[in-house]
A = this chain, B = another copy of it.
């Protein structure tokens, strides 16, 4: 038995994650509705912003949802020009899905609108802690190993003026 003081590997985050996600989703739905979006859309847009130019089945893979349902989701997003399907030049069966400028803008709007919802749920955390949380979640979601902040920041700061919500 090692001399390590306490075993802290018992802490399982699953239920907490589920709980918080639900609480945010409840608030998000009402906030997102006026924008014509549902939480699911937001997740898809976020994934596309993180790694665009992706095939539909790759998207279905990272979203871990059935391909047929991805079709419907993309139909809705494309109907509002938030997303674009282009045929891949290498394999013309494939659709390359990408966020349109309008989509990026709408996503930013939605995130702004969600600010209060998140503030409500994550109110117990200080700004720095929320940033830590964000970074941990992002890394877990993208599967990326340790990554300097620079990429994310560079990504978020390509919009010059409208930093304020």
Q: Using CB atoms and an 8 Å cutoff, list the residues of chain A in contact with chain B.
A: 6-26, 28, 39, 42-43, 45-47, 63-64, 111, 114-115, 117-118, 121-125, 127, 129-145, 152-153, 156-157, 163
Contact = CB atoms under 8 A, between A and B. Distances in A.
A21 B11 contact: no
Contacts of A142: 124
Given A15-B111, A18-B24, 8 more contacts: A8-B153, A11-B130, A11-B134, A13-B134, A19-B63, A22-B64, A133-B133, A133-B140
Number of copies: 2
A142 B123 CA distance: 11
A42 B23 contact: no
